[in-house]
Amino acid sequence: MKKIISTKNAPQAIGPYSQAVEVNGTLYISGQVPLIAETMKIVEGGIKEQTLQVMKNIGAILEAAGYSYSDVVKSTCLLSDMANFKAMNEVYAGYYTGQQPARAAFAVKELPLNVLVEIETVAVK
């Protein structure tokens, strides 16, 4: 059965999608950008600050669904420029110790709201 997950502790969807959907013990989190939930404004700073905000948003959705970072099995990281990969990776690595999830990282032409990073996540219980 499909369950829609929504929390006020992460940015509200700004289009026709859900923050996350849970199906049969698998949580699919929509791509998160560095919006601050309370203001719906992009966090100030560069790639490290933006990645930190994205990971906080992911954490809030994981928590709302009853999951944790240790349940994450796959991440897809979209970057505005691969030159930001190393700095993004430094922040990202702090959230996954022990058994890291599978991951892909891509540079794309442009991201929503002209942000530097977007990360989508899959978690399994």
pLDDT tens-digit series, residues 94-121: 999 888 999 999 999 999 999 999 999 9
CA-CA-CA-CA dihedral for 108, 111, 90, 71, to nearest 10: -100
Q: Give the closest residue to 31 by CA, choosing from 92, 76, 65, 94.
A: 76
CATH number at residue 39: 3.30.1330.40
Write out the residue range of the structural domain in which residue 116 sits: 2-124
pLDDT attached to residue 97: 86
pLDDT attached to residue 122: 98
Confidence tier at 124 by pLDDT (50, 70, 90) = very high
- Beta carbons of 122 and 52 less than 8 angstroms apart: no
Q: What pTM value is reported for the model?
A: 0.97
How many separate domains does the chain show? 1
pLDDT at 11 > cutoff 90: yes
Average pLDDT over residues 36-63: 98
φ/ψ of residue 115, rounded to 5 = -75, 170
Average pLDDT over the chain, rounded to an integer: 97
* Residue 17 DSSP symbol: S
